[in-house]
Amino acid sequence: MPELPEVETIRRDLVPLLRGRTVTRVRIHEGGERLAVTHSPREMEAELAGRRVEEIGRHGKYLLLRLDDGRTWVVHLRMTGSLVHTSAEAPAHRFERARIDLDDGTSLRFNDLRKFGTWHLVEDEHDAMPLSGPDALSSDFSPRWLQARLKDRVAPVKALLLDQRIAAGVGNIYADEALWIAKVHPATAAGRLGPAKVKRLHAAVLQTLEESLGDRGSSFSDYRDGLGAEGLHHVRVHVFRREGQACERCGTIIEKTRVAGRGTHFCPRCQRPS
């Protein structure tokens, strides 16, 4: 599941391969009717053909391919999507949903087992991500901002960490990791966290995202970087999918439960309810 560190790794991989390149042809394969949100598959193919990619940006988990006609091609990988640069001749991945051929004879493949990934082609990129707040690695995501967003809320703090309006880019892996680092129980009513704990949680979010980015992301299942390789961070996580194993801080067995409708991993000793 690509979250901020994974999408940023892909972005950095693709910048030198894609910037300044012109799209010669796009093919959305049979069964990809839901991929292009703003256009039909045939329209999307036609609109993208001939466009040059000027810049590649990112906001939260969205990749932003800024085109020479002023529009932005907004790509979201959801849980199982990947965008991998290959030769034109490389055989299709088992779950290839679309291919993008470039003017240097290479191609990009959009692979997505569960078909949840989306493409938008828009004049204003905000239209493609209306519920996104500050990117979690931007200065707009500050301790003060987080404090204000959590104040008086009774929802579990984990649910709010997953809310892209509060911290765009945080997903299930890094929410669990940040809560462990900050020693906060995931089901704590957000408004009950004092300023010191909120500050600790904010720092923990940055820490886990940056550590994973340094490892080129986590490959728990389908995530691949822009060249098709796995990330390295999944072997260094503290709690995510480590239920039944010892907490590396205190030795207590990590538990798995359900919070905000998501699988949630935590240390019952380090992260006592407060």
Residue 33 bears catalytic tag? no
Q: Is 29 in the site for DNA (CB under 7 A)?
A: no
Amino acid letter at 40?
A: S
The piece of 46-54, 73-81, 211-219, 228-236 that touches DNA (CB under 7 A) is 73-81
The piece of 46-54, 165-173, 192-200, 230-238 that touches DNA (CB under 7 A) is 165-173
Residue 3 bears catalytic tag? yes
- Least Cβ distance, residue 69 to DNA (angstroms): 23
Strand order through the sheet with 106-112: 23-28, 96-102, 106-112, 81-87
Do residues 221 and 2 lie in contact, with contact meaning Cβ atoms separated by under 8 Å? no
Local structure of 168: helix, strand or coil = strand
Q: Which is nearer to DNA, 99 or 102 (CB)?
A: 99
Amino acid letter at 22?
A: T
State how far the Cα of 266 lies from the Cα of 23, in Å rounded to an integer: 45
Q: Is 134 in the site for DNA (CB under 7 A)?
A: no
Phi, psi of 111 (to 5 degrees): -110, 140
The piece of 38-46, 54-62, 63-71, 207-215 that touches DNA (CB under 7 A) is 54-62
- Least Cβ distance, residue 13 to DNA (angstroms): 20
Residue 186 bears catalytic tag? no
The string of DSSP letters for 5-49 reads: HHHHHHHHHHHHHHTT-BEEEEEEPTT-TTTBSSS-HHHHHHHHT
- Least Cβ distance, residue 257 to DNA (angstroms): 10
Q: How far apart are the first and last CA of the chain?
A: 30
Q: Is 31 in the site for DNA (CB under 7 A)?
A: yes
Q: Which of 78, 241, 256, 262 is catalytic?
A: 262
Residue 210 bears catalytic tag? no
The piece of 38-46, 138-146, 153-161, 205-213 that touches DNA (CB under 7 A) is 153-161
Do residues 20 and 53 lie in contact, with contact meaning Cβ atoms separated by under 8 Å? yes
How many residues bind DNA (CB under 7 A)? The answer is 36
The string of DSSP letters for 47-105 reads: HHTTPBEEEEEEETTEEEEEETTS-EEEEE-TTTEEEEEEETTSPPPTTEEEEEEETTS
Q: For DNA, which residue of 21, 116, 138, 192 counts as binding (CB under 7 A)?
A: 116
Query: Among all residues, which ones are annotated catalytic?
Result: 2-3, 61, 262
Note the residues at the interface with DNA (CB under 7 A).
1, 3, 31, 34, 60-62, 76, 78-80, 95, 113-116, 129-132, 153-156, 159-160, 162, 164, 171-173, 190, 260-263
